[in-house]
A and B are shown apart, each in its own frame.
Chain A
């Protein structure tokens, strides 16, 4: 089955450590997105990538970094510079210009930093 995989489901880290969240898709989609979700805040865009080897900052990119070396993969690193990293992180993908902005979401990773 085609879809988006995020691993792990739950992740725990100590403050001051960098952590990388995985996102893999086999939908052959060109565009991929990372969102952060906090209670009552909706989804806020962290980074997005329309094609391989290219990505843009979203609304809350500070303290995060990404790479897009392969079409299928878009890992997100939460650095120690992110002041409040505990949140639910969602990855999504879409086909730019063809399915009218519709995005497909992964199951999410809940990150807890103590």
Chain B
């Protein structure tokens, strides 16, 4: 079964600093990978997705992620953090079993941005 590990349940950065949120996946087949963002008491919003085209994926709000097959990683980055980036971020990997399509989510990383 596919799985996702997000290293660091909490990450704190200063405003203007680099944001790096780590995601490693386990998949027996070429995966599709996603990053979602969740603001308090809201649903999840898609930031970006990797679907086997370019390995460097650009998303919304200045975020990007790089698919590295050799490292089974899909880390999320943003060059300069903004206060509005404070939220919880989830990495997810595709899972196809018996004709059903699902996503397997990591446990999330809560990002704090300090002024």
Shortest CB-to-CB span from B25 to chain A, Å, is: 13
Q: In the complex, are the beta carbons of A97 and B101 less than 8 A apart?
A: yes
**Which residues from B are CB-within-8-Å of A102?**
34, 46, 49
B36 to chain A, nearest CB (A): 8
Q: Is the CB of A108 within 8 A of B43?
A: yes
Stretch at the interface among B11-19, B66-74, B103-111: B103-111
Interface positions of B (Cβ within 8 A of A): 9, 32, 34, 36, 41-46, 49, 51, 90, 94, 99-103, 105-108
Q: Which of A13-21, A40-48, A67-75 contacts B (4 or more CB under 8 A)?
A: A40-48
The answer to whether A48 and B42 touch (CB under 8 A), given A40-B9, A43-B105, is no
Question: With a CB–CB cut-off of 8 A, which chain A residues contact B43?
Answer: 4, 6, 90, 105-108
B103 touches A110 (CB 8 A): no
> Do A48 and B105 touch (CB < 8 A)?
no
Known pairs A101-B101, A107-B43, A110-B41 / 8 extra A-B pairs, C-beta < 8 Å: A41-B107, A43-B90, A48-B100, A101-B34, A101-B94, A102-B49, A103-B103, A105-B44
Which residues of the other chain, A, contact B107 by a CB distance below 8 angstroms?
40-42
- A90-B44 in contact (CB<8A): yes
Residue A56 at the chain B interface, CB threshold 8 Å: yes
Q: Which of A6, A92, A103, A107 has most B Cβ within 10 Å?
A: A103
CA distance A94 to B101 in the complex (A): 9
Contact with B along A77-114 (1 / 0, CB 8 A): 00000000000101010101100111111111010000
Chain A's closest residue to B51 (CB) is A100
**Min CB distance, A21 to chain B, in Å?**
13
Known A-B contacts A102-B49, A108-B41, A108-B43; the reply to A42 vs B101 at CB < 8 A is: no
Main SS class of interface, A: strand
Question: A7 at the A/B interface (Cβ < 8 Å)?
Answer: no
Q: Does A76 contact B (CB under 8 A)?
A: no
| Residues in A whose Cβ lies below 8 Å from that of B103 | 101, 103
- Whether A50 sits at the interface, judged by CB under 8 Å, is yes
Q: Which residues from B are CB-within-8-Å of A106?
A: 43
Is A31 an interface residue when CB atoms closer than 8 A count as contact? yes
Residues of B within 8 A of A96 (CB): 101
